[in-house]
Amino acid sequence: MEQRRVGDSGLRVSRLGLGTMTWGRDVSAEDARGLLDAFCTAGGTLVDTAAAYAAGEAERMIGRLIGDVVRREDLVIATKAGFVIRDGSRIVDTSRRALLRDLEGSLRRLGTDHVDLWQVHAWGPAPLEETLSALDYAVQSGRARYVGLSNFVGWQTAQAATWQRAVPGRAAIASAQTEYSLLARRAEVEVLPAIRALGLGFFPWSPLGRGVLTGKYRQALPRGSRGASAHFGWFVEPYLETRSRAVVEAVAKAAAGLDLTPLQVALLWVRDAPGVTAPLLGARTAAQLAPALEAEEQRLPAEIATALDDVSGGAMAARRSPSS
């Protein structure tokens, strides 16, 4: 699998990442093993997780597979901190104490002395300089090689990255992560311009529109799907509305003409969009992951990519800019 540089940093990752949000809940230990094995066999290196995923179980599952399915040195482990469970509710706590406590827990569960990319999971109530001081400590202490941001909007991304650049010795922000797909193009308004201006890498999550762009919801709500589940139905429901149908049908039509699957068309559109480093795939089984891996040598014709731009929200300024 092709490797890409993460922005202007020295970090390199596979151009597809393996997301683990459902590990420990919808993904069994056996399926996790199959996913990681298939991903690494195809040349994948980037595995994205978080302290909050299944209350740490996703990280434990990865830790148990390291050294068995894959060597630690062959993985780029990205994890996140800042979501905590308090009094039975999940809240954002980006204080230095909470972040560093999350980091120590992540290292213990993963069975490693460092992570390759440590990210603040969301913008939080703590003073920004306090949050960022935790990132500095993580890098200075060798617990993290690089640091990044997750789910920050454009101005938050710019403020954090600029703060870190203001004084020599601070840990530079290497990357940002937010939702981006043919059904969620808001990142193009402010986040992606900020990322390009600041030289950051970009990891889109839910590049398949929370599964809707695969076409499996075109006729009904399949039993056993994420959209039909009690704990993820709310996550999929916004993209089952009428306004999404035209985009899904356009993807299906393009797929038929190109002899690809809708999943592959939707993924290729994101993977090769200007500014994207590596989309994060949340497959639940190796069989679900296979079509994405099989599309490694494929690329959408420029006219198809542009047509999908038009039907999903309008022309993409960065695609048409000579400097993009």
d(CA 266, CA 244): 13
Residue written as tokens 């000579």? 322
Q: Does 239 participate in catalysis according to the annotation?
A: no
Strand blocks (E) in the chain = 3-5, 12-14, 17-19, 46-48, 76-81, 83-86, 89-92, 115-120, 144-150, 173-179, 201-205, 280-281
* Residue from 53, 146, 217, 239 carrying the catalytic annotation: 53
Specify whether the CB–CB gap between 143 and 170 falls below 8 A.
no
Tell me how far apart the alpha carbons of residues 95 and 133 are, in angstroms, rounded to a whole number: 10
Count Cβ atoms below 10 Å from residue 162 Cβ, excluding itself: 12
What is the CA 223 to chain-centroid distance, rounded? 26
Distance CA 270, CA 207 (A): 6
Q: Is 133 left (phi over 0), alpha (psi -120 to 50) or beta?
A: alpha
Return the exposure string of 235-248: e unless at least 16 CB atoms fall within 10 Å of the residue's CB, then b.
ebeebeeeebeebb
Q: Contact, 7 vs 276, CB < 8 A?
A: no
3-state secondary structure of 156: helix
Distance, in Å, from the CA atom of 135 to the CA atom of 118, rounded to the nearest integer, reads 8
Rounded to 5°, the CA angle 143-140-52 comes to 35
In this structure, what token pair is assigned to residue 236? 């999929």
DSSP, res 16: S
Cite the active site residues: 53
